[in-house]
Structure 1
Amino acid sequence: MSNIPAFGLGTFRLQGQAAIDSVRNGLELGYRTIDTAQIYGNEADVGSAIASSGVRRDELFLTTKIWVDNYAADKLVPSLEESLAKLRTDYVDLTLIHWPAPGNGVPLDTFMTALAEARARGLTRQIGISNFNIELTRQAIAAVGKEAIATNQIELSPYLQNRKLVEFLQHEGIHITSYMTLAYGKVLGDPVIGAIAQRLGATPAQVALAWALQQGYSVIPSSTKRENLASNLLAQTLRLSDADMAQIAALERNGREVDPAGLAPQWD
């Protein structure tokens, strides 16, 4: 069974001082889960913010993701060791394969096996996948076993509900982490979400995050603004009614924001 915290701080698109400030503010506000990736170019910034925060390592849950260039059997573990050095830690709590990148020359079972090896060496406590469709998740399961895959981190928002994939992952007992839960902010202007927010005395962001949390997904919203970081946390105590959930379910529009050629699979 995976042991993934429900609420974390994302750092996508944040670099340098913006990343340091966001993580520092987040830690001060009570965030203890931080999500980064090799390709974000901010692991050292995250490590710096953590080091100066005074928060103990064993209170934190750190996730990073292996970039495509490091999937080869002889590259994956050394690249993770480099990430650990930047993050100033001996281990991360979760390491994900960032994109399946079919056709990049490294077979899926090769990089999944290398990822399992990283875990066996103690470099990461748990392993998982990101942006995998049903077929590639099946292949990952075949490579390392279902119980080894702690989560599939996927783009998932009220505008992109990924029902087929969600149903498959839930059936297999693989935890779902939703990224881009606010669809780059697009759902914040949605009239349905706005009306629910107004009725509950909440923000649209809190409503969208609560919608994901109530379905059992983990969320990792990011922000450079301290007040938004604080406000987002309150989504954890917001309760949406069945009617609210049904209204948001009806917003599905296959509104995918992230679909990089060569990296993304054929979506379900």
Structure 2
Amino acid sequence: MTRTVDDVNVGSLLRGWRKLRGVTQLELALKADSSARHISFIETGRSTPSRSMVLHLADQLDVPVRDRNSLLMAAGYAPSYPETSLTAPAMATLRAGLDQLLTAYEPLPALVMDGMYDVVAANKGVQILLDGVSGHLLQSPMNAMRLTLHPQGLAPRIRNLGEWRAHLLERMERQAALRSSDALRSLYEEVAAYPAPPGSTHAGPDERTDGHGPDVHPYALPLRIEAGGRVLSFISTATTFNTPMDVTVSELAVETFLPADKETAAALRAAG
């Protein structure tokens, strides 16, 4: 379920997104090459925006594709963006492309997540991270946030759990706000309530207690995790699609884990 404001009137919905983005009517008008008076009339229902105007304002407010459909329907128009299941025949080429991309990353861990952080595809490299994870967390749909932060998941083996946990929760909170999503907010509240495992390291980047000294990766926060009897260090990246025209595609993200030191790179080569 996606939430903006209680009223489904397109003007109220647009006002909700404008306030969420922290812009005034005048600022939106300038961005949209319109007038504050016109924006006010739309928001109060005195003027009905055209289909193109709805999409134009949604673009200026960076409204997610899923919610653009909601705006259009609230204005009396048909939705512009289909929501096609990733398993549908029409998605066969996309699935093949994603599989090829994931395979190309091996032995580096890489996976594809949907808008709820459910894993929809993963390569063999991910297996190096999953040793010891409880079976119920690996059942489909496997959720990346639950998998990482649950005390029966990766959390007990993450050496910098305090930092990594804060990073993931901030990421989820930001996404929940940008998409105004109740479902994401609920997931955030669930994983934020997971207890930290006993003995976990919550030291900051310059307060290492494992003998490795100060953080040597100032350019990005590494995930430092025990795997195969050693500590591996990864830098994660997330890739999304440019100008998606389908709701499903708009919410996909390819997450890859690059080795942050030569020891991790060597371990991945040996494992592969």
The two structures have a TM-score, normalised by structure 1, of 0.28
The two structures have a TM-score, normalised by structure 2, of 0.28
